[in-house]
Structure 1
Amino acid sequence: MSENEATTSHPESANEGGDKENEFLEPENKRRKTTPSSDKKYKLEERLGGILCCAVCLDLPKAAVYQCSNGHLMCAGCFTHLLADARSRDDTPTCPTCRVEICKTTATRNLAVENAVSELPSECQFCNKQFPRNSLERHEQEECEERVSGCKYHRIGCPWRGPFHEKTNHEQECGHPKKSGAEVMEALEILDQKVMEERKLYKAIFELLGYDKITFNDIQLKPYRSDDFVHRLLYESSRFYVSGHQWLVKAKITENQKDPTQNSERVMTYQLVLKSKVSTALSLSYIVLCGPVGDIKVQPRVYKFDFTEHENETPYETFPLIDAAECNRLLAAKTINFRLIMFWASN
């Protein structure tokens, strides 16, 4: 055999050998499946976190989980915010994923997802260790050695805040106990001011309990739309009678903002309206509390107003809700229920 023939025949034999070797190689997809990966995105808890997260805020829910009729998940805060936004716009609330209509009657709690989320690991914000979500709050508040703690002498002005494990050493070296009374007076005055505000409220309520006439009414506010160019969301109660006079309560949302949907920090204000005619001035004090029907969360405030023939509406006062999230929760409801207590002395 000539040299050229040998050279030309050699590649053919090499290809035949290569083809035989390739026959025993695993397909690329199969090799990819069997090859272990250390990437975090392939961990089960990471994949479940992406599946069980809220469709609005894209975070894992901390408490209740609601779902639309197609099964898309929403945490309780985002769910009530969607309903509140739709109520403010006079629109129908829809699921942000599939646009199906949602409301408190059609959306249901998903207890299986709530239980599954509570078992997923979450990182402690102080020590960066992972714990099941159902025990993370207790760990951060009571057990974590890195949790932020304050000095026991903060009541006399010590501003120190640091890791819990450093608290004992700091308190042993803290200089505030050795300060003179004059030096700690500023801190005590601030503390006294807070206590005096609470006492002032309690004292006002106790004084009102000594009035001749005390009545309470369980009020239900129902929403309606104004006739303005930009329709505004307003609330009004049915008329009720107290001591021979006819009254009603009005309320509105975020008075100084044209479009309440552009602000998450919503505020509700209300006024008391006297619908009857009075010949003499009627001095009245009133307070809003949680009633037996609703579960509204309020921080009580006492308001006072003198009703006359020409002044029959109180100014709009701030509804004493605990925060803006509570306002969203009330907006998401069809009606708002609370108890109104009215005090006045006989003329």
Structure 2
Amino acid sequence: MISDVGVAAAPGSSSAGLGVGAVGAAVEAVAGVAAMQEEVGIRREGPEPDPDEPPKKRVKMPEGESGKLEERLYSVLCCTVCLDLPKASVYQCTNGHLMCAGCFIHLLADSRLKEEQATCPNCRCEISKNLCCRNLAVEKAVSELPTECTFCLKQFPRSSLERHQKEECQDRVTQCKYKRIGCPWQGPFHELPAHESECSHPTKTGTELMGILGEMDQNHRRDMQLYNSIFSLLCYEKIGFTEVQFRPYRTDDFITRLYYETPRFTVLNQTWVLKARVNDSERNPNLSCKRTLSFQLILKSKVNSALECSFLLLKGPYDDVRIKPVIHHHSFSNDANETDYVPLPISDSVECNKLLAAKNINLRLFIFQVQK
């Protein structure tokens, strides 16, 4: 049952029971804070104002009380897990308790690893992507609260902080324009013109510059080699691809472990299966902050001769997971019908938690048959 929490609650009050009434009050309070910054010094006189009056008729609060009001808003709008103000999306359970996107995904991933139903850490009601929804009003209210720039330490609304730190702040960290030829300098933006006027890299000899550019070319060649390999595979006569869906299962061992497996699918007139595991079947992956997924491709059909293939996994057409393509090779036969487990090339543990939090993992598999 959703209970309304007033903005004027005690400073130590939590965000439990945040409902529609509390969100509306929070938004009004944020608007009041902005107005107070414009008209500081107006004191409250006479009886308390009617809360049903329009905001323009309300008497402004003194500056000393505005700080306390901001503190109360922080306690009301913070995430119930990390106790910090959300930086992006805000989710709420069926009782209205707030969770930032990172904590919400982490709770769902942990429940998947421990084979438990995810619950709200505040009221213990069940949570899932279907049961929880975004709270757009709280997201907007949080975006208007002031926060401190990490470079110049000035206060800005959260909605404009990113633009300020990237484009406007004179103390933001920047790099020399001669970084392309090896200058390692980085410092405050306001010191950049003075540094560039005295930078020694434009005066380096051609021999020195050739050594620096050689290292940069080597990194570029590695990237180009990958893309050229993919383009070469696209020239093969026999190419197949399909969308695959990894479904979570548990082993039948005494200590059960989480693994993923796809239904059988047909590519290149052969039957295949993909399997995946978490942290290489670590005993308790839920206790680790670093999480990875690895997978193997299994040929289920019987073949008369060796089937040499290249394959790679990419994200599905409706997924937002970031995967860097890696090409793998294997010669399949009746005696060697399984590849070794290879890492799923996701960028970090945050991306892995996104996959674990989902009901199923949807990816796209490409298989290229090497012609002899």
TM range, smaller chain: 0.7 to 0.9
State whether structure 2 residue 263 is matched by structure 1 residue 238. Answer: yes
Q: Determine helix, strand or coil for the equivalent of 2:177.
A: coil
C-alpha contact (below 8 Å) 1:293/1:338 kept by paired residues: no
CA distance in 1: counterparts of 2:226 and 2:205, whole angstroms: 32
1:305 maps to amino acid = H
Q: 1:260 aligns with which of 265, 285, 294?
A: 285
CA distance in 1: counterparts of 2:194 and 2:309, whole angstroms: 56
Q: 1:132 aligns with which of 157, 164, 187?
A: 157
The residue number in structure 2 matching 1:188 is 213
The residue number in structure 1 matching 2:338 is 313
Q: Determine helix, strand or coil for the equivalent of 2:163.
A: helix
CA distance in 1: counterparts of 2:330 and 2:66, whole angstroms: 63
C-alpha contact (below 8 Å) 1:291/1:339 kept by paired residues: yes
State whether structure 2 residue 231 is matched by structure 1 residue 206. Answer: yes
Cα RMSD after superposing both structures: 1.8
CA distance in 2: counterparts of 1:261 and 1:190, whole angstroms: 40
Q: Determine helix, strand or coil for the equivalent of 2:138.
A: helix
C-alpha contact (below 8 Å) 1:122/1:132 kept by paired residues: yes
C-alpha contact (below 8 Å) 2:310/2:370 kept by paired residues: no
CA distance in 2: counterparts of 1:50 and 1:198, whole angstroms: 47
The residue number in structure 2 matching 1:331 is 356
State the Cα distance separating 1:58 from its structure 2 match: 1.2
The residue number in structure 2 matching 1:144 is 169
1:135-168 Cα distance to aligned partner (Å, 9 max, x none): 1001101111000000111122211110001111
The residue number in structure 2 matching 1:4 is none
The residue number in structure 1 matching 2:179 is 154
C-alpha contact (below 8 Å) 1:249/1:271 kept by paired residues: yes
CA distance in 2: counterparts of 1:169 and 1:178, whole angstroms: 16
C-alpha contact (below 8 Å) 1:296/1:338 kept by paired residues: no
- Aligned sequence identity (%): 54
CA distance in 2: counterparts of 1:106 and 1:58, whole angstroms: 22
1:147 maps to amino acid = R
CA 1:229 to 1:39, structure 2 compared with 1: closer, same or farther past 3 Å? farther
Aligned length: 313
CA 1:246 to 1:182, structure 2 compared with 1: closer, same or farther past 3 Å? same
TM-score (norm 1): 0.86
TM-score (norm 2): 0.80
The residue number in structure 2 matching 1:299 is 324
Equivalence map 1:22-61=2 (5 Å): 38=64, 42=68, 44-61=69-86
C-alpha contact (below 8 Å) 1:287/1:300 kept by paired residues: yes
Q: Determine helix, strand or coil for the equivalent of 1:63.
A: coil
State the Cα distance separating 1:190 from its structure 2 match: 2.7
State the Cα distance separating 1:199 from its structure 2 match: 0.1
CA distance in 2: counterparts of 1:147 and 1:69, whole angstroms: 41
**Structure 1: which 5+ residue stretches go unaligned?**
1-34
C-alpha contact (below 8 Å) 1:296/1:337 kept by paired residues: no
State the Cα distance separating 1:39 from its structure 2 match: 7.8
State the Cα distance separating 1:275 from its structure 2 match: 0.8
State whether structure 2 residue 188 is matched by structure 1 residue 173. Answer: no
State the Cα distance separating 1:181 from its structure 2 match: 2.6
The residue number in structure 1 matching 2:92 is 67
Q: Determine helix, strand or coil for the equivalent of 1:270.
A: strand
CA distance in 1: counterparts of 2:282 and 2:178, whole angstroms: 43
